[in-house]
Structure 1
Amino acid sequence: MDEELHERIRDAVTTIPPGTVATYGDIAALAGASTPRLIGRVLSEDGADIPWHRVLRANGTPAPHLVHRQLELLRGEGVLADGQRIDLRTYRWRPE
């Protein structure tokens, strides 16, 4: 992956407002990435300093290894889960 795409992905994640979420696919489309998997890769390798917790899988759930921490961070922003799923119709961010 080139550095420009890497930075576009990080920038896109940074723009997700507190109290909202986006999917890996949303961020891939916004950043021009070929696949949502690249978003997960960037966040796992270089996402600690950006709001990684606002990015979810397409079904509204966190990755299994992040579920407890991610839902805790989202709760702190007012994003409430039904079990381990976030209602994307309620909390999904739609860039203008």
Structure 2
Amino acid sequence: MRTAGPRARVSFGQLQLANGAVEDRLLVSLLAGGDGMRLEGDEDLASSFVAWVTGRPGFPVDGSSVLIDWAGELLPLRPGMAANELRAAFVG
């Protein structure tokens, strides 16, 4: 979930997730305006985080949430996606 443009530089805050080693880190920025999140770091952690987000109650079922710069094309998200499914779609 990477975003370009002016909103990419403005965030409400950041969350750093780690899985032990320094190289296994994920920085999650919550973009201003509620338009999305920017994920930077380990693809496995990113996949797990996105899977966790899609598992939250009320996650949209209409395809309005997508990953950009993850797969060759926009990747529509749906409730309950699995981390291994998201990781398999990554083309970094």
TM-score by length of 1: 0.31
Name whichever structure is richer in helix by fraction. 1
Return the TM-score normalized by structure 2: 0.32
**Higher share of residues assigned strand:** 2
Structure number with greater CO (CA < 8 Å, separation at least 6) is 1
